Amino acid sequence: MSFRVVSGGVVHTVPMDLRRVLNANPKLLATWQDLTPLARNEWICWVLWPKKAETRSQHIQRLQSELREGKRRPCCWLGC
């Protein structure tokens, strides 16, 4: 699999597990790239927040579905 450039946020870089998911889906990656750096930062922070790997995986799954639905920021997230 060839990796494309995945833009990070204002403070955070994209973690490898999220980078793999975005690279596996060109349409999702295009949506990600269209987000503002601040919005990407919020998503990244929201994915990094959980301590359990299972919860983090659930956050990545939810990120995918919410971006597909057109949501630009994680719901109810106060930010980092």
C-alpha distance from residue 34 to each of 24, 44, 49, 50 (Å): 17, 15, 23, 25
Residue of higher predicted confidence among 77 and 71? 71
**pLDDT over 80 at 34, yes or no:** yes
49-72: burial string, b at 16+ Cβ within 10 Å, e else:
eeeeeeebeebbeebbeebeeeee
In this prediction the pTM is 0.88
Whether the pLDDT of residue 69 is over 80: the answer is: yes
CA gap 8, 19 in Å, rounded? 10
pLDDT of residue 1: 52
pLDDT score, position 12 = 86
